Structure 1
Amino acid sequence: MNKTPLNDRHYALKARMTDYAGWEMPLQYEGIIEEVLAVRGKVGMFDVSHMGEVLIRGRGSGGFLNWLLSHEVAKGDPDLISYAIICNDEGGVVDDCLVYTIAPESYLLIVNAANKEKDLVHIAESMEMYKERYPEREHSIEVLDETDHYALIAVQGPESLSVMLSMAEPLGLGEKGSEALRALEVFHHIQVEVPGHKRNMMISRTGYTGERGYEVFCPAEVAATIWDELLKKGVVPCGLGARDILRLEAGLPLYGHELSAEINPLEGGMSFAVDFDHEFRGRNKMKANTTRELIALLGEEREIPREGYPVFVSGFEVGFITSGGFSPTLRKGIALALVKADSVGLEEEVRVMIRNRGVPFKVVAPPFVKSVNFKYAD
């Protein structure tokens, strides 16, 4: 089983460990509910070093990525981060990813741990297709798996900026570090040279919780020092259990649940990440293969809807739960469900079959928990 550079820190904190996509990862420390509330109320941190890092660089790499991904990511902004979808030929999802522009014609893709090997095969196949499709374009593209060289620590919560400001010196941000952190916009990053390492540290204003947050990509060798400094500052360590509830409260998709080879981005609620005005692999069939939609469901009881439970409207089965759980913030059951398009509207009631009983849920607009500390897209 793979281990992150922070594995010994998790054992020292007596974390409950689990196998996730072949990685030994912390599921929880003090408890999932306590960790969720820490992120909602103050600040927490996550080791997400299991995520895959794929570097794509060289002449023509920007044009290739613009064709590989569901919208243009090579826009000339040296600090930009883009959320994008890697699609198959049918318009289904191979993976979703974040794309860091780290230099001209140099991009770092952050992909799901369980999908990395599949992604690398798909990227190589797509590159050959791209070269055949556009023989007139200059190509000198290199694809590198950088996963083992990086660690990733996510600092999330309403007090995350205060914590990051206090970390300016330990992170080596220099005299203007605090100013740079305050000015850092959502989906942008700054780079910091790390003495003795050829790879820079990257600090981004991103996250997977619906709260204000930052993610620190650093050379694997310095991750433990950063983690220890964050612990000294009172940041609560959080596991994957809390991370999943937080992303569900925020209405965010998870590959294998709301997105998959059979669930395209339009069906999975990610239409904002698709630009049909530019050509990309899978574009032509995506619209034709869209027959369902993602809805958000809020319960009035503590009954918990689980993945796969059927959803009914007026006695007819219209879909199924893709993700569900108990919201510690709302103290109610919440879920995302994939249903037939136009089968139900906002504020209308559906029934979810839980233990042979049709439990009522109301269709609501996500997110379930909207934080005042998070800047939402227009």
Structure 2
Amino acid sequence: MDSVKKTALFDVHEKLGGKIIDFAGWSLPVQYEGIVEEHEAVRNAAGIFDVSHMGEVEVKGKDAFAFVQNLVTNDVATLEDHQVLYGMMCYEDGGVVDDLLVYKFNQDFFYLVINASNINKDYAWMLEQSKGYDITLENMSSQVSEVAIQGPLAQEILQKVVDVNLDDIKFFYCNRNVTVAGAKCLVSRTGYTGEDGFEIYSENKDIVKIWEALMEVGKDMGLKPAGLGCRDTLRFEAALPLYGNELSKDITPLEAGLGFFVKLGKESFIGKEALVAQKEAGLPRKTVGFEMEKGIPRHGYDVVVDDKVVGMVTTGYFSPTLKKNIGLALVDASYAEMGGALGIQVRKKVLPATICSKRFYQKNYKK
């Protein structure tokens, strides 16, 4: 794995016995103690994740607002300073370049957080779309480290090592001037697990002491290091999408069931015409939740009805929280009715599944 990139926390993961894998070109822990144990720690106490592989791009200049408003599907005009917005960047045909978080520092300064697997593609796309706008773009990804602390005790633990009252950082807001374990950081409260939690962005040189300080103050409160494995099971139970699964260049936000984050009423954004046309014509495919009595669904498995392939599983697991076999699938719209019967091709057998709500888990965010 010599050619694979390492975060500033790589030695910490090895010392903790993390099982290291190649994820999007990064050496990252898929688990430490075990996916289920780490999943349950986040649901019941707290977990800490190394998410330094995520990408960060600064947008500065007098046209920063106009550029970002045209770039993403959601309405950036609704943002206050230091508020955060979820949205997508789309191609002209409505397919998704990436999903991202938009941090508004002020009207002339935005911070975009993008997926690790898409950093180079996304930055090239942004540069191409920036022509004609009076802005500067800077890919900060290699200069920034990030940890996320998630779970019902996340605030209580983090509060022990910061110089601000975390009650003042509301859900989907941030503070750019927080001292965490002696280091100046950007702290936000968004989460990707269905639980309350915070993201801490710092310079690479400071992230180890931040991680170690959190682990020390949280050791008697159930805080555990958490890997990519439970990050996926947690976000999936909370019906949060993953690029490459629920979203891709071949799946529109509307097909993914994320129309709430697509503001077709705003003046313009890249891909708007295609998405308006798709909505008016009726969606050809829809994303549904399903559960199975037997068999564990996996990403890429075919969905079959009457010997006909009508879709595919985008994500599937045995849910550690619900103790059920559940999944999300993108299916032909005519087969997407709540309570409908589907078949999932699990190896050589087609096993029965029933369409259910995608809200597998009740999110526990602090508003």
TM-score scaled to structure 1, two decimals?
0.89
1:348 Cα deviation after fit: 2.5
1:274 Cα deviation after fit: 0.2
Which residue of 331, 335, 339 maps to 1:347? Answer: 339
Q: Helix, strand or coil for the counterpart of 2:130? A: helix
Q: List gaps (5 residues or longer) in structure 2.
A: none
Residues 174-223 of structure 1 show CA distances to partners (whole Å, capped at 9, x for unaligned) of xxx22xx113221111122669x9x9511111111111111111122111
1:374 Cα deviation after fit: 2.3
Q: Which residue of 2 aligns with 1:24?
A: 27
2:178 is equivalent to residue 186 of structure 1: no
Q: Is the 8 A contact 1:313 1:344 kept in 2?
A: no
Q: Which residue of 2 aligns with 1:211?
A: 195
Which residue of 265, 277, 295 maps to 1:277? Answer: 265
1:75 Cα deviation after fit: 4.1
Which residue of 199, 214, 217 maps to 1:230? Answer: 214
Which moves more between the two structures, 212-221 or 263-272?
Answer: 212-221
How many Å separate the matches in 2 of 1:157 and 1:334? 22
Q: Is the 8 A contact 1:205 1:213 kept in 2?
A: yes
Which moves more between the two structures, 108-117 or 71-80?
Answer: 71-80
Q: Which residue of 2 aligns with 1:295?
A: 288
Aligned length: 354
Q: Helix, strand or coil for the counterpart of 1:67? A: helix
Q: Is the 8 A contact 2:170 2:366 kept in 1?
A: no
Equivalences for residues 1-378 of structure 1 within 5 A = 1-75=4-78, 77-128=80-131, 131=132, 139-168=133-162, 173=163, 177-178=164-165, 181-192=166-177, 201-232=185-216, 233-234=218-219, 235-278=223-266, 279-289=268-278, 290-301=283-294, 303-371=295-363, 373-374=364-365
How many Å separate the matches in 1 of 2:297 and 2:336? 18
How many Å separate the matches in 1 of 2:274 and 2:104? 29
1:242 Cα deviation after fit: 0.8
CA RMSD for the aligned pairs? 1.9
Q: Helix, strand or coil for the counterpart of 2:277? A: coil
How has the CA–CA distance of structure 1 residues 115 and 208 changed in structure 2, closer, same or farther, with 3 Å as cutoff? same
Q: Helix, strand or coil for the counterpart of 1:78? A: coil
Which moves more between the two structures, 77-86 or 355-364?
Answer: 355-364
How many Å separate the matches in 1 of 2:207 and 2:195? 23
Point out 4+ residue stretches in structure 1 off by more than 6 angstroms: none
Q: Which residue of 2 aligns with 1:134?
A: none
How many Å separate the matches in 1 of 2:78 and 2:262? 16
**Percent identity of paired positions between Structure 1 and Structure 2:** 37
How many Å separate the matches in 2 of 1:193 and 1:240? 26
Give the aligned residue type for 1:291: P
Q: Is the 8 A contact 1:63 1:74 kept in 2?
A: no
How many Å separate the matches in 1 of 2:74 and 2:67? 12
Q: Helix, strand or coil for the counterpart of 2:298? A: coil
How many Å separate the matches in 1 of 2:255 and 2:301? 18
1:74 Cα deviation after fit: 4.4
How many Å separate the matches in 2 of 1:163 and 1:266? 38
Q: Is the 8 A contact 1:49 1:151 kept in 2?
A: yes
